[in-house]
Amino acid sequence: MFVYADNAATSKVSPAVLDAMLPFLKDTYGNPSSLHTMGQKAAEHLLAARESMARHLNCEPKELYFTSGGSESDNQAIISAAKVGARRNKKHIITTAIEHHAVLHTLAQLEREGYTVTYLPVSSTGLVTAEQVKEAITEETCLVTIMYANNEIGTILPVKEIGAVCKEKGVYFHTDAVQAAGHIHIDVKDQNIDMLSLSAHKFHGPKGVGALYVRSGIPITVLINGGGQEKGKRSGTENMPGIMGMAKAFDDACNNIDANAAKVGALRDKLIAGLSKIPHCALNSDPKLRLPGNVNFCFEGIEGESLLLLLDSKGICASSGSACASGSLDPSHVLLAIGRPHEIAHGSLRLSLCEYNTEEEMDYILQEVPKVVEYLRNMSPMWKDLISGKKNFTL
């Protein structure tokens, strides 16, 4: 059996999305800036795509900028707010310890340029409170950037409350909604969001295309200069097939958001219940206050990369926060931030589901994961020390 359970890394382009993209590769391939009929036809579709996405986010079409994806949107939002801050002598930014590297590395660059950044610690389930944000805001704060939902452990953060605090204090609020968009309800007005990043490939759109919402009135810093597309804020001939695919994918995702969340949430809960039976394991983050498709466990005594490779050999695609799996020396900063010790964080497994997954696939995962965990534990000297009582179990 083949089971794709790595939808938080990327998701498949749905058949309907592919159908929406193909005409813009085959027939209507004109440049929306061209004055001829084919170009103008493309321009009309571009406008329709912007209007459709804006409607689902509850913003104005002119407040939505198409980009190359989540990373670019995060970079542009943060740098824009930082530049506004610098002009007003405000060079302090607030974020959390569990952001994606598109945010963290952009902030690290700003720190090198003289900004100060407060990394709010998170609870054992990956939460920060609006109260924490309120206390961290100073006269110098120019931006609060806090993700909508975490990509590793699936925690959904209290964005609306955080946004309200920022509004009250007059500080810009950006949220990286790459994992949330298309999966949970977003309303930028109701949720007090000034800037928001999203990426098509996380909701069955194509890779390399995303969007940035910026509330009108907030000055945007241009990162890519050129022909003045996207109202001069993001140059480059529009990625028409990509944008058409994203708009279709977002429309489908938002129109079916409750049904998908119910279906995927049920699969998730089944996995969580089944995997919890494995001895000496722990679910990361809250069982309920998490993305519908996110399952993340730590298994004591084993290492995540070998777990992934063995699952891959059984046809199961998953992901891990171990150092080896991430290609670095330290395990996931998110797992460390929620208080998992290094040796436990190395043994993590993320399974991320979507509406195309099935009950049968969950049964297969629940049949294979315990076997693979046991197999690896049997060859682990660390596990031996734990069961012989030489070392104490953490989980």
Binding pattern to ligand PLP, positions 64-103, x when CB under 6 A?
-----xxx--x-------------------------x-x-
Q: Do 328 and 341 contact (CB within 8 A), yes or no? A: no
Asked if 324 is an active-site residue, the reply is yes
Answer with the entry of ligand PLP, another protein, none that 32 interacts with (C-beta below 5 to 8 A by kind). none
Q: Hey, which bits of 224-293 come out as E strands?
A: 281-283
Map the footprint of ligand PLP across residues 97-156, applying CB under 6 A: 100, 102, 147, 151
- Please say whether the beta carbons of 345 and 325 come within 8 A: no
Q: Is 178 in the site for ligand PLP (CB under 6 A)?
A: yes
Q: Does 179 bind ligand PLP (CB under 6 A)?
A: yes
| Binds another protein (CB under 8 A): choice among 83, 366, 384, 395 | 384
Residues in a beta bridge with 247: none
**Out of 210, 241, 293, 301, the residue judged to bind ligand PLP by CB under 6 A:** 210
Amino acid at 244: M
Q: Is 323 in the site for another protein (CB under 8 A)?
A: yes
Q: Which of 305, 317, 366, 370 binds another protein (CB under 8 A)?
A: 305
Residue 102 touches which of another protein, ligand PLP, none (CB < 5 to 8 A by kind)?
A: ligand PLP
275/288 Cα distance (integer angstroms): 15
Asked if 298 contacts 282 with a C-beta cutoff of 8 angstroms, the reply is: yes
Helices 304-313, 359-378: inter-axial angle, 10-degree rounding? 130
Residue bearing tokens 């722990």: 282
Cα–Cα dist 213/203, whole Å: 17
Residue closer to ligand PLP by CB (options 96, 192) is 96
158 φ, ψ (degrees, to nearest 5): -80, 70
User: Please, how many CA atoms are within 13 Å of residue 98, restricted to the half-sphere of its CB?
Assistant: 27
Considering the rule CB under 8 A, would residue 309 count as an interface residue with another protein? yes
State which of residues 45, 91, 280, 346 lies at the interface with another protein (CB under 8 A): 346
What residue ranges bind another protein (CB under 8 A)? 301-306, 309-310, 313, 322-325, 327, 329, 331, 341-343, 346, 379-384
